[in-house]
Structure 1
Amino acid sequence: MTQRSRRADARSAAEWFAVMRGPDADAERAAFETWRALPANAEAYARLDATWDESLFLANSRTGRDRDLMRVRRKMPPAALLAAGIALLTLLSAGLMTAQMGWLGSAGTQTPAATTIAAVDGVRTLTLADGSKVTLDRDAALSDLSSPRERRFTLLRGRARFDVAHDPARSFIVDAGAGSVIAHGTLFDVGFEDGAVRVVLLKGSVEVRDRQAAKSSPHGSRLLAPGEELVMRVGIMGVPSRTDASRLAWTEPMIGFDEVPLAEAVAAFNRGGGQAVRIERGGDGAKRVSGAFRRDDPKSFADALGASFGMTVETTADGSLLLREGKSDVR
């Protein structure tokens, strides 16, 4: 790419950067995605976006929130807009640098120590320092890396529900696997499942990003609407789809089934973590499960299935409960 074409790409990126953060963003989104589909344009836009992301703490201050790039765009020609956009990003980067070097005081100059929050025996709900609430499923664990600049958490295992308190000055981010969820005063679930990360939005809005691809690919992020879910694997960003209502009830102490295939019922129960229930290969057949069971009592769940379907329940070397075909031997 020549120096001249790089300048052209940067100029277009600066204009789009202003447009997508202004009141015309929704109306212009289709044209923007078409423009960003070109790798060179995506790369140019990502460079500006990266600088902006690194400077969120200043952009969320009163000075940053008072910036209306679209108001500038309407009054200035493209060349002047480019200079203004780059100047603003330079200012934000300079603010980030001075904060990291300690020129703005001690707050935020050190990486915060991580605090681990875990739920062992059952579902646990707690209130965070900012007023947000987090509910951890059985055997789930969460690392709190929040700082004065942002509220940031890493899901280590299991599943969690976040009820986010509104705070425009501090973004709320949950990292899980290769993805990140950026919330905006909302209620959502994040959980590990079969080697993937599932995000379910109950209300509000969230953006799901692939941390490895978001800066170089136009398809590295997705927005979810209430009632939608998204499954993400390493290098693969899923498409938002309507969620199953049964996925929303995991915070309740009981789990219920109505003529659900045995394999599906066991898989749903196991999502709560803890002692796993397994079925001997070929042992599920056409069996269907109905009834309500305590989520924190895998042994009673396995015993009930064994008694219902004439299966034995054995504790294996790894501690899981194995259902085998044969005469029930509930112990």
Structure 2
Amino acid sequence: MDRDVVKPERDLEAVRRQAADWLARLRSDSRTPDDEAGFKAWLDRSEDHRTTFDALTSTWELAGALRHDPKIAATTQRTPARLARRAVLAGVGVSAVGLGWMAFAPEVYATGVGETRTLHLDDGSSVLLDADSRLSVRIDGRQRRAGLDKGRAFFRAARDPSRPFVVAAEGREIVGDGGDAFGVSVLSRAVSVVAVEGQVLVMTPGQPSGRITASAGQRVIAEGQGPARREVADVQSATAWRFGQAVFDDQTLAEALAEMNRYSRRRIELADPALEGLRISGVYKAGDNEAFARSVATLLDLDVRANGGGLLIEPRGGA
């Protein structure tokens, strides 16, 4: 074999890393037209780029097929699909592409009902993850990115002008330039961003006209594909969950129950859907569902009773 045509291993490794990075960017919810154009240009520069990317993509698709194998069904049922596929790739991808997906995958953190977690990131930033939430984080020499799939998180971004701290949530991106403190929530597919210190930019990739800057004391709300709106925020109430409190200001009973049930396995349910629209205000201890239910029953002239392992709120007298 002509040794002149054998490519140095370090060159092949660089191509594999580039291919894995492109796959991550193209599979991201925040993919932009610029990413797609850049990928096409990269692909056209070399046949090695194309074959390496095809191999990596095949491995990714193989991982998706293996998730349905009966031998690993129990594992995938206990693990979020996104994590399960990455776990499979960690096993089969090394031989296929030389590196394996896990070298490029973000760290994923999840909390259960009633559980909160504080994360101290490598760049000096910190995150408080609320109950029933899931967050992915990737920090490297080029970027600081997090993705909030569901729930709530409070970020304190360390200052680093060369790497803005970006949080992706339901197709939106929240960008801090460092030294900022802000909360992000993804509840019922609506995104809410509360600026506590400094300021943050809320944007939709590919839509320059949709950018909104929120300064301390302001909130940006975005629902579905509709335009985002900015408003004055009661920061103390909006971030009360950090201190174990649930604050309601003329919220519907359905909304209040959804919030309280994030913090206790003793779920509260309504016996009659007609009760969902009743309004409630007050400050309650997150996790104390019994005290909340009894308070609601007193304020709204309702009854509350045990319902298996939970609580049932019903009209007075069972009417």
TM above 0.5, yes or no, is yes
Is 1:195 the counterpart of 2:189? The answer is yes
Q: TM-score, normalised by structure 2?
A: 0.58
**Distance (Å, rounded) in 1 between the aligned partners of 2:194 and 2:170:** 15
Deviation at 1:234, TM superposition (A): 3.1
Deviation at 1:283, TM superposition (A): 2.9
Deviation at 1:168, TM superposition (A): 1.6
**Distance (Å, rounded) in 2 between the aligned partners of 1:271 and 1:247:** 17
Deviation at 1:130, TM superposition (A): 1.3
Deviation at 1:273, TM superposition (A): 5.7
Conservation of the 8 A alpha-carbon contact between 1:188 and 1:201: yes
Amino acid of the residue matched to residue 227 of structure 1? G
Is 1:164 the counterpart of 2:154? The answer is no
**Distance (Å, rounded) in 2 between the aligned partners of 1:294 and 1:254:** 5
| 2:105 maps to which of 108, 113, 124 | 113
Equivalent residue number for residue 315 of structure 2: 325
Q: Quote the sequence identity (%).
A: 26
Conservation of the 8 A alpha-carbon contact between 1:207 and 1:223: yes
| 2:213 maps to which of 201, 208, 223 | 223
Aligned-residue Cα RMSD (Å) equals 3.9
TM-aligned CA distance change 1:161 to 1:288, over 3 Å: closer
TM-aligned CA distance change 1:274 to 1:170, over 3 Å: farther
SS where residue 141 of structure 2 aligns? Answer: coil
SS where residue 242 of structure 2 aligns? Answer: coil
Paired positions, count: 225
Higher relative contact order structure (alpha carbons within 8 Å, sequence separation ≥ 6): 1
Equivalent residue number for residue 177 of structure 2: 184
Deviation at 1:228, TM superposition (A): 1.1
Conservation of the 8 A alpha-carbon contact between 1:122 and 1:296: no
TM-aligned CA distance change 1:196 to 1:257, over 3 Å: closer
Alignment of 1:258-297 (within 5 A): 260=250, 263=253, 266=256, 269-270=259-260, 272=262, 275=265, 277-279=268-270, 280-283=272-275, 290=282, 292-297=283-288
Conservation of the 8 A alpha-carbon contact between 1:200 and 1:228: yes
Equivalent residue number for residue 145 of structure 1: 138
Post-superposition CA distance 1:214-260 (Å, at most 9, x none): 3xx442321112111111133222121111342122211233568x5
Unmatched 5+ stretches in structure 2: 1-31, 39-44, 46-51, 53-100
Conservation of the 8 A alpha-carbon contact between 2:130 and 2:152: yes
TM-aligned CA distance change 1:238 to 1:310, over 3 Å: same
Alignment of 1:51-66 (within 5 A): none
Amino acid of the residue matched to residue 121 of structure 2? L
